[in-house]
A = this chain, B = another copy of it.
Amino acid sequence: MADMLNERSQQILEAIIEEHIATAQPVGSRAITTRLPTRLSPATVRNVMADLEEQGFLCSPHTSAGRIPTELGYRFYVDTLLQVVRLGQQQQDRIQAEYHWQGLQMSELLHTASKTLSSASSYTGLVMMPRLQKTIFRHIEFVKLSSRQILAVFVTQSGLVQNKLIELDEELTASDLEQISNYLNQEMAGLSIKEMQNRLLAEMAKEKALYDHLLQRALRLSEAALDTDSDGDIIIEGTSCFLEQPEFGDLERMKRVFRAFERKSVLFALLDRGLQNEGVQILIGSETEYSEIAGCSLITAAYSGKRGTLGTLGIIGPSRMPYSKVIPIVGYTASLVSRLLDQESD
């Protein structure tokens, strides 16, 4: 792919894309000549631009406007031309300072992450809450609220706390509850929630005919406690950044984007895809495969606790986006969040 273009064509493509990112305007041959290392006439640049258009890297909104990058153009730029620099120390410090780090709960930490992603990039910050299924069980506690009402509190290895109110159809004494939680804490520690659920189901099947009521209750109770309905929430911050983007001056497009933000399912699917990948993942325009957010790009990276990947975070903005600035921000935030989560679960 990179071979399709000679050195000079690549330079010109890069210059066009960077100029367009800066100005949001179609770029003419004239403007490019000043940005190039070698002195070239506009006419020469025009020839090259015509070739680039032929090959699908550029297109022109109309005859007498300049050129703008296509999605293929951005993709080539990101894959081949762009060199990502690490984040400067002072910017790292500025981001880190936002997490005035005093025993934050995980959920607050992730809210902060979403906010800093947005403020540092001036695009919209996204953070996927950890998928409980994949986190590691650490501790469970049952709090008796009334005769038939129990609050289950469970904590994951990475410090995420989850509450669940359970209505009982039979009464359990405080010591029953203690026995049950002791059993679970001893037997299940170190399993993922998913594994734990499977184990519970297996035990329940095995013990079906058994007379050990307490065990049965334990199994049923913990099953209820782990039933994770609030799984996979997404924290979105800085949606108003979209209002600043000239390419969304069209209200119709803007509405589509905002509605997608409210439904969240689209963003969830996209962030979920990022779980598999190492490092920073970039989705440009229709690569997202959702027409609601046409013209948008997504930069994501997975964050992790001690025991592996927990979720993804990133930013979403128009495809015309300063990738070289945004990619390090996402990368740094992911590693910072991972580090902070590691600390937390000492």
Query: How near does chain B come to A190, taking the closest CB pair, in angstroms?
Result: 14
A243 at the interface (CB under 8 A from B): yes
Query: Given A141-B143, A240-B258, A243-B254, A163–B165 Cβ distance below 8 Å?
Result: no
Do A165 and B105 have beta carbons less than 8 Å apart? yes
Q: How far is the CA of A15 from the CA of B322 in the complex (A)?
A: 53
Chain B CB within 8 A of A325 CB:
no
Query: Is A243's CB under 8 angstroms from B239's CB?
Result: no
Judge whether A161 and B151 touch: CB under 8 Å. yes
A239 / chain B contacts, CB cutoff of 8 Å: 239, 258, 262
Number of residues in A with C-beta < 8 Å to the partner?
39
Given contacts A151-B161, A159-B165, A239-B239, 17 further A-B contacts (CB under 8 A): A103-B165, A104-B165, A108-B229, A108-B230, A145-B159, A149-B346, A153-B161, A161-B165, A163-B163, A165-B344, A237-B262, A239-B258, A239-B262, A240-B261, A240-B262, A243-B254, A249-B251
> Dominant SS at the A interface?
mixed
Note all chain B residues with C-beta closer than 8 A to A151: 153, 155, 161
Does residue A8 face the partner (Cβ distance < 8 Å to B)?
Answer: no
CA distance A258 to B261 in the complex (A): 14
B149 pairs with A143, CB closer than 8 A: no
Q: Judge if A208 is at the interface, Cβ distance under 8 Å.
A: no
Closest 10 CB pairs of A and B: A240-B258, A161-B163, A243-B255, A141-B143, A153-B153, A103-B165, A240-B259, A103-B167, A240-B262, A105-B165
With CB as the reference atom, state the residue of chain B lying closest to A159: B165
The yes or no answer to A139 lying at the interface (CB within 8 A) is yes
Cβ distance A244 to chain B, nearest Cβ, rounded Å: 7
Contact partners of A108 in chain B: CB under 8 A: 229-230
Q: Which of A253-271 contact B (CB under 8 A)?
A: 254-255, 258-259, 261-262
A139-B143, A145-B138, A249-B251 given; A258·B230 CB < 8 A: no
A90 at the interface (CB under 8 A from B): no
Taken together as a complex, chains A and B put the C-alpha atoms of A137 and B245 apart, in Å, by: 47
0/1 interface trace, chain A 54-94, chain B, CB 8 Å (1 if under): 00000000000000000000000000000000000000000
CB-CB under 8 A from A262, the residues of chain B are 237-240
A68 to chain B, nearest CB (A): 22
Q: Are A346 and B255 in contact (CB under 8 A)?
A: no
Confirm or deny: A146 has a beta carbon within 8 angstroms of a beta carbon on chain B: yes
Tell me the bound Cα distance from A255 to B242 in angstroms. 9
A336 within 8 A of B: no
Q: Are A258 and B237 in contact (CB under 8 A)?
A: no
The answer to whether the Cβ of A235 comes within 8 Å of any Cβ in the partner chain is no
A251→B258 contact, CB < 8 A: no
